[in-house]
Amino acid sequence: METKQKKRRKAQVDRDLCVGCGCCEKVCPLQAVRVVYGIWAQVDAGKCVGCGRCVKECPASVIVLEEAAV
Amino acid sequence: MKKHWYDYLWIVSLTYLILGFVNILFAWLGLLCFFIPLIISIVNGSKGYCSRYCGRGQLFALAGGRFGLSRKKDIPRWMKSKAFRYGFLIFFFAMFFQMLWNTYLVFAGVQDLRQVVTLLWTFRLPWRWAYHGTAVPAGAVQFAFGFYSVMLTSTVLGLITMLLFKPRSWCVYCPMGTMTQLICRVRNASKQKKG
């Protein structure tokens, strides 16, 4: 039987342009994003519900919501 | 979300700016904003200062966010490019060392104390009201004027980009942020490749 794969929108960070300021970390209601190694922000796709708060907050606008298979 | 004590550090930043109008010697306290993020990045290898303890960032977030002073538009692409960020860091450093050189000249007695705050590295604002004559050496006073110039200039630049773009757009090109990110890059070079 074929299972239908659900697709949800999740936050995705452009690592190359991320400045690692952590503004996203601060607004995420689920602590699904954090700055790793002091370099870039990383989203935990398992936790992210795609609310888009980090997208709105990011001063460099390097976070987007993109469809990802869950 | 639960508020922590460090969520109120914007009050400290604001007080610092005001104190510079009262007595310029308070400008020395601004060195904390230089050394704390550096120490955190060197010791911890993180940029924890930016999101938690940066009072200036909080001030911009508050003014642009809650007070609605920001247009909340995307920052231009060139402003977040590495070339601009590193270029601005180098320029900032150059200006900083020039300020240190002027301080040295006053210390050495070659130059007289100049009671001015230089805004945007160009405009010399008379700032006599904030110096009342103390036993502190003239060089130390000159450093206070120079350092306050750096702090005021970056605040003004940050305010302008706060109005034009997103509230914390200063964070994108903040020289301290760029520098601590660079330190973290070097420090965590091996982990980065794995991650």
Of B46, B166, B167, the CB nearest to A38: B46
Cβ-based contacts of A56 with chain B (< 8 Å): 72
In this structure, what token pair is assigned to residue B125? 């604002």
A&B contacts, CB < 8 Å: 90
Distance from CA of A8 to the nearest CA of B (A): 24
Asked if residue A34 is part of any domain, the answer here is yes
What confidence category does residue A7 fall into, taking pLDDT thresholds of 50, 70 and 90?
confident
At A41, which CATH number?
A: 3.30.70.20
Asked if residue A1 is part of any domain, the answer here is no
A6 compared with B51, residue with greater pLDDT: B51
Strand, coil or helix: B155 = helix
Task: Give rounded-to-5 percent helix, strand, coil for chain B.
Answer: 70, 5, 25
Cβ-based contacts of A60 with chain B (< 8 Å): 75, 80, 169, 171-172
Domain with A28 in it: 7-69
Give the domain ranges of chain B: 5-194
CB neighbour list of residue A2: distance below 8 Å, 6 or more residues apart: none
Asked if residue A21 is part of any domain, the answer here is yes
Q: What is the pLDDT of residues A30-39, one digit of tens each?
A: 999 999 999 9
In this prediction the pTM is 0.92
Is B158 in contact with B65 (CB distance < 8 Å)? no
Query: How many structural domains are present in chain A?
Result: 1
Q: What is the pLDDT of residues A52-63, one digit of tens each?
A: 999 999 999 999
pLDDT of residue A9: 93
Complex ipTM over 0.85 = yes
Asked if residue A59 is part of any domain, the answer here is yes
pLDDT of residue B194: 57
pLDDT of residue A68: 79
What confidence category does residue B90 fall into, taking pLDDT thresholds of 50, 70 and 90?
very high
Distance from CA of B124 to the nearest CA of A (A): 31
CA B189 to CA B161: how far, in whole Å? 32
CA B24 to CA B80: how far, in whole Å? 33
Asked if residue A2 is part of any domain, the answer here is no
Q: What is the pLDDT of residues A9-55, one digit of tens each?
A: 999 999 999 999 999 999 999 999 999 999 999 999 999 999 999 99
Q: Which of B67, B14, B38, B5 is nearest to B175 (CA)?
A: B38
Q: Mean pLDDT across the stretch B170-177?
A: 97
* Mutation site, A13, A26, A31, interface B, largest B CB count within 10 A: A26
